[in-house]
Structure 1
């Protein structure tokens, strides 16, 4: 069942009491959608002072079965200010969204949820004082997968940052085997991919293709920044290479950058967490201010 907005577009949103600090207004646990039979879907919004900031929508990782809107990834847990507030310091409004996990609902539920969140933000842009015409999506791992899908299917998105997200669920098991990845078996019936789809990808290739960003690539796609570590043991680097090649072949703007020796979540290369963040900020600034 699809998520539906909790407010009509013409009505002011029902916002909790904000927290104001260092020129940033933060609303936490804002309900953006109600799905009968499920928990309320929430977002956190950080908006800097100033006229109509561009918006970054952040989608968390966790293999579609864990994680929450409050985290940017374990490499950033000790950052102070947080990555969200650092993005706000660059002049962006930042909305971090929850979505239904695989223990709650199967694909396309999480994609429907993040699409509903984006729709809610657009519908209330005037009241929230954000610019609905300048929107970038930014996701890590499973969130990168969802950001890619949403960016390819929503024509109003101006840029997508995808950190080590699965891109082709029909080949992820082959890519893991070819890359010598033994820590996970994406083809297993209890794999993250199978839990997302409700079936192992090899058992339902059509469903796996529908959930794969590479299937939805087109020439009018927004610019993509793909960042991945060459030592990733959870999502094969080949996934981003496949995705980048598909975008390039379609004529879409794409930048793929690989970080040598970095594992999933940037493990093994603590310097990469800062480098990847800064590179992504530069990319979004270029896409949303040009």
Structure 2
């Protein structure tokens, strides 16, 4: 695996440079002529914290290398957090990363094949929302995502993660909360999606995922829902988080090879 840190993928006047880390397979001379499927990974952290360099703790250092061993290039992105800029800044950054990644890989001698989005928690929300609102991707993996901001607890509390993301409590800005929710944008031609959620998640209720997948399928879209028994947020309590990881990689591998 070769890694390139701090690759700039965008610039917004008045903000820090938008950066990602690229992790690419070691390719032979012949293989460099082919195209490699790409995962754009969007970290979680309640839109308020987190980093491309700190994936889920229960999967640790194997998170990105396992994807690369499966034949993917990985673009692990940072985006503007809610303390820097409120919605729609973060989702705009995700869409910008998707648009830029093929060119960035080409600069490092790698041809980009199909591009996928993968996010967890707030990153899952952003991955779904970006894919449903203009990012050109071939599939999405979302782990324990928020899909309907207005349905989250604390609609009048200005200090919830959702309120800080939007710039106001969800109850005070219902139309904005609706616009910023993936469930609003379900459509028949959405890319295939795998949504995975723990059935004991107390931070983001698993109903956020079940309702979203039901709505997407009802609209004519393609989605698979997996509920993980006994698992909380970030796979706390899950019997085998690595198996969940492998399942998601297989889902995207099947799409890439289709």
Work out whether the TM-score is over 0.5: yes
Q: Is the 8 A contact 1:31 1:42 kept in 2?
A: yes
Q: Which runs of 5+ in 2 are unaligned?
A: none
**Matching residue of 2:10:** 33
Q: Determine if the alignment matches structure 1 residue 121 to structure 2 residue 98.
A: no
Tell me what 2:183 maps to.
214
TM-score by length of 1: 0.83
* 2:72 is the alignment partner of 1:96: no
> Which residue matches 2:147?
167
What is aligned with 1:66?
A: 49
Aligned counterparts of 1:46 and 1:208: Cα–Cα separation in 2? 34
The residue aligned with 2:86 is 106
Contact 1:55 1:131 (8 Å CA) reproduced: no
* Residue-by-residue CA offset, 1:110-168 (whole Å, 9 max, x unaligned): 01111111122133443334444401100000000000011112362101000001001
Give the superposition deviation at 1:263: 0.5
Q: Cα offset for 1:187?
A: 4.7
Tell me if 1:285 matches 2:253. yes
What stretches of structure 1 of length at least 5 have no aligned partner?
A: 1-23, 174-184
**Scaled by the length of structure 2, what TM-score is found?**
0.93
| Alpha-carbon distance in 2 for matches of 1:94, 1:31 | 15
Superposed CA deviations along residues 228-264 of structure 1, whole A, max 9, x for unmatched, are 0011011010000111011110111110000111010
- What RMSD in Å do the two structures reach over aligned CA positions? 1.4
SS at match of 1:151: helix
Separation in structure 2 between the aligned mates of residue 84 and residue 258 of structure 1, nearest angstrom = 23
User: Where do residues 68-87 of structure 1 align in structure 2 (5 Å cutoff)?
Assistant: 68-77=51-60, 79=61, 82-87=62-67
Q: How far apart are residue 33 of structure 1 and its match? A: 1.3
1:54 is aligned to 37
